[in-house]
Amino acid sequence: MEVIVEIPNGEVLEGHIPQSKMKLLQAWVELHKDELCADWDLTVSGQQPYKIDPLR
């Protein structure tokens, strides 16, 4: 399964995952919103993004 979500609001753009996994994903996005946005900016400018820790 695969899902594409919009950052920073977590809206599903494409795909589907089980609701239980989606809640975990949304929690992870909320915790790492600033890092995700910073990584997006790096990626758009052709730079390597930083690794973001998984939800534990």
Q: Is residue 25 classed as helix, strand or coil in its secondary structure? A: helix
| Span 1-56, pLDDT tens digits | 899 999 878 889 999 999 999 999 989 999 999 999 999 999 999 999 999 999 87
pLDDT given for residue 34 in this prediction: 94
Residue found under tokens 């753009």: 13
d(CA 23, CA 20): 5
d(CA 5, CA 16): 10
pLDDT given for residue 11 in this prediction: 86
pLDDT given for residue 22 in this prediction: 92
pLDDT given for residue 7 in this prediction: 83
Q: pTM for this structure?
A: 0.80
